């Protein structure tokens, strides 16, 4: 089925460990995003990409890095995990252009940092 | 600082009732206002959206009302059903290069049978 696939779905990290979250989409979308979801705070943008090889910071980028080496993949890295990064992470994608703006979201990665 | 403020945080409605969720925004450059619906364990999914050239948009039981002068918009769910129980997010976007959305804090809706 077409859509956005996130791996892994769950992960527990110890403080200071690093990890990479993978997002893959098969809809040929130009734009991709990483959001984190925390109770009462909605979804906050971490980083985004408007095309292969380009990335930009969002609202809460500190402690995260991203890469988009292929159009269909968007990777989110945690360099040295902290308990404040415990959250549910969502990847999303959409087409370029101002019509629709409809995002397709993945099903999320629940990350716990202990 | 949250640019889109959503209320209430939680809402309980009886089956058949009307659910109303409100959002207010600050940035006058916003010109696209979608609502997303999220079920537990799933990602948000686009429900309905409006642009400020109209004051209301209806799709089935879901209606967005938009008040440009007050910088407010709301989602009305008519004849609410238990299957509507979910978390709802309002969002807003302006003419930015990355089609970036700013989300409200979310409303957890429970529709009682």
pLDDT tens for chain A, residues 1 to 114: 679 999 999 999 999 999 999 999 999 999 999 999 998 788 999 999 999 999 999 999 999 999 999 999 999 999 999 999 999 999 999 987 656 568 999 999 999 999
CB–CB contacts below 8 A, A to B: 64
Place of tokens 């309002």: B90
**pLDDT for A86:** 97
Contact between B105 and A42 using a beta-carbon 8 Å cutoff: yes
Half-sphere exposure of A37 (CA within 13 A, CB side): 25
Interface residue B89 vs chain A (CB under 8 A):
yes
3-state SS assignment for residue B82: helix
Q: How far apart are CA A92 and CA A89, in angstroms?
A: 10
Look at the block and give the residue holding tokens 């945690």: A78
Side-chain half-sphere CA neighbours of A45 within 13 A: 24
Nearest CB to B106 within list A33, A42, A50: A42
A48 interaction partners in chain B (CB closer than 8 Å): 98, 100
- Cα separation of B67 and B74, whole Å? 9
pLDDT in the model for residue A40? 79
Strands B86-92 and B72-77 turn out to be unpaired
Six-digit token string for B110? 């429970």
pLDDT tens digits, residue range A4-23? 999 999 999 999 999 999 99
Q: Please list the pLDDT of chain B residue by residue as tens digits (113 residues).
A: 568 999 999 999 999 999 999 999 999 889 899 999 999 999 999 999 998 889 999 999 999 999 999 999 999 999 999 999 999 999 998 877 778 899 999 999 999 99
Helix (H) or strand (E) holding A56: strand A54-57
How far apart, in whole angstroms, are the C-alpha atoms of residue A12 and residue A114? 7
Query: Which chain A residues are within 8 Å of B95, Cβ to Cβ?
Result: 98
Q: Does B75 touch chain A (CB under 8 A)?
A: no
């Amino acid at each position: 089925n077409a859509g956005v696939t996130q791996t892994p779905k769950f992960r527990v990290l110890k403080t200071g460990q690093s990890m990479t979250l993978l997002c893959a989409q098969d809809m040929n979308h130009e734009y991709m995003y990483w959001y984190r979801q925390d109770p009462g705070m909605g979804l906050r943008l971490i980083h985004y990409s408007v095309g292969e090889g380009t990335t930009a910071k969002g609202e809460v980028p500190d402690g995260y890095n991203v890469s988009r080496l292929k159009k269909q993949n968007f990777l989110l890295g945690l360099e040295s995990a902290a308990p404040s990064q415990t959250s549910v992470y969502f990847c999303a994608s959409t087409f370029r252009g101002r019509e629709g703006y409809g995002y397709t979201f993945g099903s999320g990665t629940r990350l716990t940092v202990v | 600082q949250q640019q889109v403020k959503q209320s209430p945080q939680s809402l309980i409605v009886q089956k058949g009732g009307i659910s109303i969720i409100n959002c207010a925004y600050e940035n006058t450059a916003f010109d696209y206002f979608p609502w997303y619906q999220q079920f537990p364990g799933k990602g948000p999914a686009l429900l309905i959206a409006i642009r400020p050239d109209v004051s209301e948009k209806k799709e089935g039981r879901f209606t967005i009302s938009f008040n440009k002068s007050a910088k407010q918009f709301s989602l009305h769910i008519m004849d609410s059903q238990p299957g509507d129980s979910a978390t709802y997010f309002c969002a807003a976007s302006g003419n930015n290069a990355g089609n970036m959305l700013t989300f409200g804090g979310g409303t957890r809706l429970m529709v009682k049978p």
